[in-house]
């Protein structure tokens, strides 16, 4: 009899130890933006959480826990939560939360009484500090240089420009001088950047040479003096302005001497490491950086670079530059160096 009594006590005890915890209530805390799950449990509830960044989906699984009663989840949808669902699958409890854009989160548990808390932080209002102008060379009636298999400079520069925008727009205000195949004069390009108070001007071009062997990438910055070689490239790019009815000599340099020197210094600070890393990543020749009197850079009131991504007249290089994967590498490396330039 005594044995049976102890056996029953033992069974009852084990039942209470192994019984599942209960979520008594789910509530939204409004003073601090957080979702709180009140849990009735003898022991600290165990949970795991995972987050799918791409879908902004947060999944929390609470071990050995059930839902006390049905809870209307739609009332939690608002500033931080886009969608929410709770699933009691007998043994464990799952919580699915789709967060709104720019909302970050933290999941933790508290004792006395037991709670699981999901903290939300809205980063949406974070002001972007810097503005970058991305200038896809040529466009519309001006195809730029035409190369092997009739590849056109204006198409390749736009493709890279769009990818660069996608990589930078999360952290920077981006101004595009053009986003489609249309003509923009050289003076308008710098005017667009000045009007938007851009902190950096990145112009994308593709080089061309009479020799199909010429290859590699080079970056230019604005300088009143130039070497004969750099002067030739600047004259070549400026000639497109003249060809389509723009008097490029009339584009004035609007910065004073002090700003001119400072901007040149800053332009070199991004051009140099960028040309090295870009050519290395694409296994292309590093042709160096040069200062020259580019009309499109002259009119901009700040540091600027003009990247000649490669030679359209070189069969291997144009095929390389036309591949999406390589365009992504180009955009990625330029984006990296833009970030390093500001931060
Ligand atoms: Zn060009």
What is the pLDDT, as a whole number, of residue 16?
47
Task: Output b/e per residue, 167-181; b: 16+ Cβ within 10 A.
Answer: bbeebbbbbbbbeee
Strand partners for 23 = 39, 67
- Closest by CA position to 294, among listed 209, 226, 200: 226
126 band by pLDDT with thresholds 50, 70 and 90:
low
Residue bearing the bigger pLDDT, 5 or 160: 160
d(CA 200, CA 158): 18
Return the CATH class of domain 131-342: alpha beta
Alpha-carbon dihedral of residues 297, 298, 304, 306, nearest 10 degrees?
Answer: 30
Pick from 46-55, 135-144, 193-202, 330-339: least confident: 46-55
What is the average pLDDT score of the chain? 91
Q: How far does residue 18's CA lie from ligand 1's centre (Å)?
A: 73
Q: How confident is the model at residue 7 (pLDDT cuts 50, 70, 90)?
A: low
Residue 3 CB partners (closer than 8 Å, separation 6+): none
CA of 296 to the centre of ligand 1 (A): 10
User: How far is the centre of ligand 1, averaged over its atoms, from the C-alpha of 153 (Å)?
Assistant: 7
Unique residue bearing structure tokens 């901007």: 263
Q: How far is the CA of 138 from the centre of ligand 1 (A)?
A: 6
In the DSSP assignment, the letter for residue 225 is S
Three-class SS state of 263: helix
**Residue 167, pLDDT above cutoff 70:** yes
Q: Which residues are bridge partners to 306 per DSSP? A: 203, 220
Is the Cβ–Cβ distance between 214 and 284 less than 8 Å? no
Task: Please calculate the CA angle 234-232-308 and round it to the nearest 5 degrees.
Answer: 55
Q: Does the 20-122 domain belong in CATH 3.30.360.10?
A: no
Nearest to 135 by CA among 262, 220, 64: 220
CA distance 203 to 313: 20
Instruction: pLDDT band for 6, please (50, 70, 90 cuts).
Output: low
pLDDT tens, 269-303? 999 999 999 999 999 999 999 999 999 999 999 99
Neighbours of ion ligand 1 (CB under 5 A): 137, 144, 205, 237
Structural contact between residues 59 and 93, judged by C-beta atoms closer than 8 angstroms: no
pLDDT at 325 over 90: yes
The span from the CA of 31 to the CA of 15, in Å, is 39
Percent of the chain with pLDDT over 70: 94
What is the C-alpha separation between 171 and 66, in angstroms, rounded? 42
CA of 10 to the centre of ligand 1 (A): 85
Q: What separation in Å is there between the alpha carbon of 8 and the centre of ligand 1?
A: 88
Distance between CA atoms of residues 262 and 303, nearest Å = 8
Q: What are the boundaries of each domain within the chain?
A: 20-122, 131-342
Report CA(238)–ligand 1 centroid distance (Å): 9
Bridge partners, residue 52, by sequence: 57
**Would the CATH topology of 20-122 be identical to that of 131-342?**
no
Rounded to an integer, the average pLDDT of 10-27 is: 68
Identify the pLDDT of residue 193: 96
Strand-pairing partners, residue 133, are 175, 201
Alpha-helical (H) ranges within the chain are 2-18, 153-168, 186-195, 228-243, 257-281, 295-298, 315-322, 324-342
């Amino acid at each position: 009899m005594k044995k049976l009594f102890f056996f029953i006590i033992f069974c009852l005890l084990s039942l209470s130890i192994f019984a599942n915890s209960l979520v008594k209530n789910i509530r939204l805390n409004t003073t601090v933006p957080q979702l709180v799950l009140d849990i009735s449990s003898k022991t600290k509830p165990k949970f795991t959480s995972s987050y799918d960044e791409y879908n902004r989906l947060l999944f929390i699984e609470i071990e050995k826990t059930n839902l006390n009663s049905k809870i209307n989840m739609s009332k939690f949808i608002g500033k931080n939560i886009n969608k929410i669902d709770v699933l009691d699958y007998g043994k464990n409890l799952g919580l699915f939360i789709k967060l709104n854009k720019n909302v970050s989160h933290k999941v933790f548990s508290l004792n006395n009484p037991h709670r699981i808390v999901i903290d939300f932080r809205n980063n949406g209002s974070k002001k972007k500090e810097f503005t970058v102008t991305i200038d896809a060379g040529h466009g519309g009636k001006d195809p730029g240089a035409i190369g092997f298999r009739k590849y056109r400079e204006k198409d390749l520069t736009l493709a890279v420009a769009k990818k660069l925008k996608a990589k930078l727009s999360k952290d920077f205000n981006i101004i595009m001088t053009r986003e489609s195949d249309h003509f923009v004069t050289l003076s308008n390009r710098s005017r667009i950047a000045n009007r938007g108070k851009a902190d950096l001007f990145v112009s994308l071009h593709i080089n061309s040479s009479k020799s199909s062997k010429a290859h590699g990438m080079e970056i230019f910055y604005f300088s009143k003096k130039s070497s004969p070689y750099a002067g030739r490239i600047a004259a070549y790019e400026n000639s497109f302005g003249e060809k389509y009815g723009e008097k490029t000599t009339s584009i004035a340099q609007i910065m004073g001497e002090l700003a001119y020197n400072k901007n040149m210094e800053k332009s070199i600070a991004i051009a140099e490491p960028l040309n090295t890393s870009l050519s290395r990543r694409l296994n292309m020749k590093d042709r160096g950086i040069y200062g020259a009197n580019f009309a499109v850079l002259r009119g901009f009131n700040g540091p600027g670079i003009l990247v000649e991504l490669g030679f359209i007249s070189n069969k291997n290089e144009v095929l390389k530059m036309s591949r999406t994967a390589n365009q992504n590498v180009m955009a990625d490396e330029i984006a990296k160096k833009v970030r390093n330039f500001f931060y």
